[in-house]
Amino acid sequence: MWTLINQTYATHHGQNAWANLAANNTGYRKIAPNAADGVTNVFLMLVAARATSKQAFVVSNAQSQITAAYF
């Protein structure tokens, strides 16, 4: 789905990153912890979308975790 990113959040713990999506008031969604580099790359994509106020295309899995993002 195409959506604006309201906020992003990450901690120092491995593979723990989140994004607050504007679409349908979905709130915070965790970036699926499939691979450390994958979580980092998706998080950076969402941070860039937020920083530039552009919409991102966010792909989610059955558990509503973010698995990919494009913008």
- The count of structural domains within the chain is 1
Rg of the chain's alpha carbons, rounded to an integer?
11
**16: confidence class by pLDDT, cuts 50, 70, 90:** very high
Mean per-residue pLDDT of the chain: 92
Sorted by sequence, the CB contacts under 8 Å of residue 35 that are 6+ apart come out as none
Using one digit for the tens of pLDDT, what is the confidence trace for 35-63? 878 999 999 999 999 999 999 999 999 99
Range of the domain at 24: 2-70
User: Is this structure's pTM higher than 0.85?
Assistant: yes
